[in-house]
Amino acid sequence: MLVLLAYTTHFNLDIHQMDVQTTFLNGELKEKIFMELLQGLQVLENSNFVCKLNKSLYGLKQSSCI
């Protein structure tokens, strides 16, 4: 990292930074993916509600394919 900073200052270059971790959260899904509600989010007891994901979640197998 230090060599990179020295190189850029020597040649008067610009450095740009980007956050790659949030790209998984902003990606559109190509497949239809449904997930069960978490225990704390269940509205009615003994209900089997599921949610359709519109955006990718971190940790999905499909996240890296976007």
In a domain, 14, yes or no: no
More confident residue, 33 or 60: 33
Range of the domain at 64: 22-66
Question: Kindly report the CA angle at 19 between 16 and 24, in degrees rounded to 5?
Answer: 145
In a domain, 5, yes or no: no
Place of tokens 């007891």: 45
Domain count, the chain: 1
pLDDT for res 14? 92
In a domain, 10, yes or no: no
8 and 14 Cβ atoms separated by less than 8 Å = yes
In a domain, 47, yes or no: yes
In a domain, 43, yes or no: yes
The Cα–Cα gap between 61 and 8 comes to 37
- pLDDT of 23 higher than 70: no
Instruction: State if pTM tops 0.95.
Output: no
CA–chain centroid gap for 14, Å, is 27
